Structure 1
């Protein structure tokens, strides 16, 4: 399984707090814990040619992990469409935190993907609402984060096919923080935690959920459907067209 972790990698260059927490970038931190599991992981960032997501790279990617925040508009339409098409073909997509507002996720959801937010040092408790799902395997009743950014409802996404986590924040808001979708042959997992000024991606339960999500989103080795004009099937030997 080939995994690519994509990150716009702008906060790490401009904000000393972020660079002190993630000296190798958010993408580097995620790559690090995934590689400890023996997974084949590479990274790509916004300022690379074609944002590091050439046709060749994407054609050999089983699961793409996406983190973005302040530079969504700098992702070209060509690359966003390229990623969307690969998801429809069967590439898995794990969308983290503020990547809910990325061009790729909005194209796949078909909605604004907007929400309420508040940047404050608030406790977050992510309640597991589907303990039988592979993505929540190994997680208890909830994950507690001492400090995170608040996201609140209404979250303008389609009704999830599976809702896995619901967050509660100290300010009283709740949020659908873990949800799955399928588009074409591709599986998509959105997971909310991960504001850049907090060490969220070092939390072992958060790492476990992301890893579980990657394994869940990996495409199945099933034949690609054939579309278009179809010829009649040959009748079964010994039977007439009427089945007698």
Structure 2
């Protein structure tokens, strides 16, 4: 079995300034996710954070990353444009990307989807969320039942300003009646992208076994595949039929 190399990226700001978040995630949100993923033998997991040199996403790190997991919220604007562009390019080349919760407003997500992905409704009252599985045969929901219940979460509501997903795997319902497209799959270039909604920092969502199971499944789904070699630009006459 091929080992999948995963980098879990987190801006790591809430945990340093909010005691409630620090209590829930003493090793950071990235630490909680990485800690779970390390229990799977087929994954090689490392972490990176915003305040590291180059946000922890050097060329060396990105070149060895098969799947990048992204959590951001307070500091989308602090992410350097050149780093966001570099991540986008790596996805187009085949690196998988999993964007979590408020990462919908990140430069990386907006560059890949081409819309104002930060536009949605929200309410952080700690409502119950039920994530309904609507594609039961999809590998991202392998091992789940009809739904995932999260006792307390931040509400996100439609309209969510994203392009129609290539595959919509999960839809959320909240106590207030709102619904939201919470498990969205895209292909960009040779890369696969999954947006997964749960994960507000003041609730222990990344300790929820089924939420972590979805992230684990998504890593395996998003891992690079070989595919075809594609060329661009002007080509010589006859080159598409072997020059004959």
2:237–2:243 CA contact under 8 A, matched in 1: no
Q: Helix, strand or coil: the match of 1:182?
A: strand
Alpha-carbon shift at residue 234 of structure 1 (Å): 4.0
Counterpart in 1 of 2:13? 10
The answer for the alignment partner of 2:178 in structure 1 is 173
Q: Who is 1:35 aligned against? A: 38
Aligned CA RMSD, in angstroms, stands at 1.1
> Are 1:98 and 2:122 counterparts?
no
1:56 partnered with 2:57 = no
State which of 222, 228, 236 in structure 1 corresponds to 2:227: 222
Runs of 4+ aligned structure 1 residues displaced above 4 Å come to none
Asked if 1 retains the 8 angstrom alpha-carbon contact of 2:190 and 2:227, the reply is: no
1:164 is aligned to: 169
Aligned to 1:240: none
Length, aligned pairs only? 236
C-alpha distance 223-14 of structure 1, shift in aligned 2 (>3 A): same
Taking structure 2 as the reference length, the TM-score comes to 0.95
- Name the CA distance, whole Å, in 1 between partners of 2:148 and 2:129: 8
Instruction: Report the structure number with the largest CA radius of gyration.
Output: 1
Q: TM-score, normalised by structure 1?
A: 0.95
- Identify unmatched segments of 5+ residues in structure 1: 237-244
Aligned to 2:111: 107
Is the contact between residue 130 and residue 147 of structure 2 (CA under 8 Å) also seen in structure 1?
yes
In structure 2, list runs of 5 or more residues that go unmatched.
none
* Residue 224 of structure 1, CA deviation: 2.7
Partner residue in 1 for 2:87: 83
Instruction: Give the 3-state SS of the residue equivalent to 2:82 in structure 1.
Output: helix
Find the partner of 2:159 among 151, 154, 160.
154
CA distance in 2, matches of 1:169, 1:22: 24
